[in-house]
Amino acid sequence: MYKILRDNLLRFAILVPVQILILNYVHLFGFLNPYLYLMALLLLPFNMPKSLQYVIAFATGLIIDIFSMSYGIHASASTLIIFLRPFFLRMLDGNRATELGNAPLPGIKSLSWIVTYTAVLVFIHHFTVTMLEVFTFQNFGRHLGSAIANTIFTSFCIICLEYIFLPAKNQRAN
């Protein structure tokens, strides 16, 4: 338990400052902005109490909001993906979702599993952030395209970081 807590705190202690100090100022092609802090939220242990997951997600999003001056947008989007995570896991794994619910870490089962898990939750986050920022359905196609492009870029970065930095013993075989 101590190792899981230590690893998660270390992940947040690295990813949140990197997001605030560096990645908030990265705007590739004028609209691509990676949100790598989502990796820390996506890798929260499944067996952690839901109320604690909500508090962590809200606090992380609020910290990002404070330094981005985005008025609660990231806090709400981060809390939303933590809320939707168990529903999505049930859809993705069906009957095995109860096994995953008892797993300490959402390790990598297979490339397709982690890509789907990451991409869908990152898309939900990006779409929520985008729609709350603009708060209009005018130019919906452009905003949807921006959310999709940001999802692809952020998901690619998160998956690369997971394969580079997560130890092989935490990865589950399919």
- For 2-170, CATH gives 1.10.1760
Does 87 score more than 80 pLDDT?
Answer: yes
Calpha distance 96→21 (Å, rounded): 39
Q: Rounded to two decimals, what is the model's pTM?
A: 0.83
CA 161 from chain center: how many Å? 13
Output the pLDDT for position 106: 55
What's the rounded mean pLDDT across residues 63-91?
A: 92
DSSP state letter for 43: T
**What's the pLDDT tens digit per position in 57-71?**
999 999 999 999 998
CA-closest candidate to residue 91, choices 109, 117, 114: 117
Contact partners, residue 73, CB within 8 Å, separation at least 6: 61, 65, 128, 129, 132, 133
Calpha distance 24→170 (Å, rounded): 30
Mean pLDDT of the chain: 84
Q: Describe the crossing of helices 73-93 and 50-68 by its angle, rounded to 10 degrees.
A: 140
User: Do 141 and 41 meet the contact criterion of CB atoms below 8 Å apart?
Assistant: no
CA angle 82, 87, 93 (to 5 degrees): 120
Torsion from C-alpha of 48, 8, 113, 101, nearest 10 degrees: -10
Could you tell me how many residues make up the chain? 174
